[in-house]
């Protein structure tokens, strides 16, 4: 086993004017390649902030993030973007689709950035896997929240990530679609060995991952292995 994500003494403070708000306090954990992990906790506890730091979207105030052996702490935004393109998939809580691109084009972007071939076909296949083949030519504003979430998941998959971070990936989906998307995530873990890090309010989903980290007020309050469940 090898560590895919090492988080050491991570803190994050947001500064606005004279106010300093520390939202993560000395967070520590390590994930091995192929792990599945849930981060749970009340609203405002720092889950989205933590996920963003782990994925190199933002910089910590102190401490270390080592992603796939690469230390992100002193990297520039461009360097971190390169690391993200190489091995990270991210499903944002608010989707962050590009509004001027269709669903298909949104999924094509990471493939094009990687200089892949058959980009359109690959993107269509991925949209098919999330049940949106028929919506390929729709723009984000023409899609429901759940549909946008699925496009966002297809886009994250298109990167063939070594590690996938998903912020409440089933939060906007009806039960049936949610179950399908969950299964896709676990299939990706099983088939490609993709490490999964999920923020979720859904305890049933959390129980399907092999580890649950609970966070409250920016502190890890528990970090437990779950009973082994077959996915």
Ligand X SMILES: Nc1ncnc2c1ncn2[C@@H]1O[C@H](COP(=O)(O)OP(=O)(O)O)[C@@H](O)[C@H]1O
Footprint of Mg ion (CB under 5 A): 47-48
CA-derived radius of gyration, the chain: 17
d(CA 125, CA 104): 10
**Using rule CB under 6 A, residue 100 touches ligand X:** no
Q: Residue 15 Cβ, how far from ligand X at the closest point, in Å?
A: 8
Among 2, 43, 74, 141, the residue binding ligand X under the rule CB under 6 A is: 43
User: In this complex, which beta carbon is closest to ligand X, that of residue 102 or of residue 172?
Assistant: 172
> Binding to ligand X by residue 25, rule CB under 6 A?
no
In the complex, the smallest distance separating the C-beta of residue 221 from Mg ion, rounded to whole angstroms, is 17
Instruction: Determine, following the binding rule CB under 6 A, whether residue 46 of this chain makes contact with ligand X.
Output: yes
User: What span, in angstroms and rounded, lies between the C-alpha atoms of 59 and 67?
Assistant: 13
Which of 9, 20, 21, 112 is the binder for ligand X (CB under 6 A)? 21
Name the nearest CA neighbour of 32 among 217, 210, 218.
210
Give ∠ CA 43-35-49 in degrees, rounded to 5.
30
162 contributes a contact to ligand X by CB under 6 A: no
DSSP string, 128-161: HHTT-GGGTT--GGGS-HHHHHHHHHHHHHHT--
Which residues bind to ligand X, rule: CB under 6 A? Answer: 14, 21, 23, 41, 43-49
């Amino acid at each position: 086993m090898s560590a895919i994500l090492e988080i050491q003494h991570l803190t994050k403070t947001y500064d606005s004017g004279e106010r300093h708000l520390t939202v993560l306090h000395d967070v520590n954990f390590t994930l091995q390649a192929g792990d599945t992990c849930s981060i749970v906790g009340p609203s405002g506890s720092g889950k989205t902030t933590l996920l963003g730091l782990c994925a190199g979207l933002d910089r910590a105030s102190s401490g270390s993030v080592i992603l796939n052996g690469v230390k992100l702490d002193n990297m520039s935004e461009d360097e971190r973007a390169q690391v993200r393109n190489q091995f990270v998939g991210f499903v944002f809580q608010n989707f962050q689709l590009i509004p001027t691109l269709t669903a298909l084009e949104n999924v094509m972007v990471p493939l094009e950035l990687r200089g892949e071939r058959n980009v359109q076909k690959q993107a269509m296949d991925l949209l098919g896997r999330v049940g949106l083949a028929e919506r390929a030519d729709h723009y984000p504003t023409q899609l429901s929240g759940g549909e946008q979430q699925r496009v966002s998941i297809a886009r994250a998959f298109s990167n063939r990530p070594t590690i996938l971070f998903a912020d409440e990936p089933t939060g906007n989906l009806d039960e049936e679609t949610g179950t399908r998307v969950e299964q896709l995530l676990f299939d990706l873990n099983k088939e490609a060995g993709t490490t999964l890090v999920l923020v979720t309010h859904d305890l049933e989903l959390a129980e399907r991952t092999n580890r649950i980290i609970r966070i409250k007020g920016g502190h890890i309050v528990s970090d437990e292995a779950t009973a082994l469940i077959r996915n």
